[in-house]
Amino acid sequence: MFRSKTAILALCTLTACAQIEKESLQSGTGSNNSQSAQGTAFPGVYLADTVTEAPGHTGSGYYDRNKATNGVRGGGTATGSLDVFSLDNSGTSSHIVLSWAGKKVKNSTGADFIIYENAFYSGGNANQRFMDLLFVEVSNDNVNYCGFAPDFSSVPESTYSMNPAHWQRFAGRAPVIYNVDSYNLTATQLFQDNDANAEGDLGGGDLFDLDNLSADNSYATGCNTTLRDELKTNGFRYLRLTPAARRINADTGAAFVADAASFGPDIDGIVARTVE
């Protein structure tokens, strides 16, 4: 939904100013500030390179699905990237499914893939962030999916929290520092997580380990213990991202809460550790 620049700046807060201004351009009336694919990832950095589903794809602006596969171009801890594919908390762009040209992402030691969304710190405070949270689910047939049983633990759960510690096993929590054009990193560097907080120490992003897959089927995704164990043992072909605001929180009976300034998550890319 388009808003005039004046109205947007009037709504702008320290927390979300950069995000609101960026997302005002999604109507297509603003300029397209995305970068072309100039950088090349190091060998062994397995970027998801195929968009299997993207209902919101228009080929223009932030609804160009190619921006989810053309290389990660993070904006750092203080702002989000503009080279992204946007999902909607409500609207046509309901989800995106990505894959690795028919290959499987395998389960190896430690985290197995990294989701690069568009979070950033508020006022430089790592414990207060603008976040667009995501459900992460994996599959071998793009029909039946298992996820990571994400949990929102703030009290009360009807009120949004800017603290990433309250959003366990969601994606969209960590800023993206990795930038293939200006801060290129190897796979070893990208997956470094010495403090074990599921965020890349050097490149940012949200780290996920297939060993933590859940058999929960609360959202009727087709998951069960057999499928979960198959995915953990043999890997997956498809990865689906869905805005948390489109899912019902069982603890409240309402949709998961979102930042008041949020329109929806912005996908910069996904990197796998091992593919076969």
Q: Write out pLDDT tens, residues 126-181.
A: 999 999 999 999 999 999 999 999 999 999 999 999 999 999 999 999 999 999 99
Q: In this model, does residue 10 exceed pLDDT 70?
A: no
The amino acid sitting at 198 is: A
Higher-pLDDT residue of 275, 21:
275
Return the closest-CA partner of residue 273 out of 140, 106, 49.
Answer: 106
Higher-pLDDT residue of 270, 15:
270
The set of long-range contacts for 151-159, using a CB threshold of 8 Å and a minimum separation of 24, is 152/244, 152/249, 152/251, 152/256, 152/257, 157/249, 157/251, 157/252, 157/257, 158/252, 158/254, 158/257, 159/257
Q: pLDDT tens across 65-105, in order?
A: 999 999 999 999 999 999 999 999 999 999 999 999 999 99
Helix ranges, the chain (H): 5-11, 17-23, 187-190, 225-234
- The rounded mean pLDDT for the chain is 89
Task: Give yes or no for a cis peptide into 43 (omega within 30° of 0).
Answer: no
DSSP state of 63: G
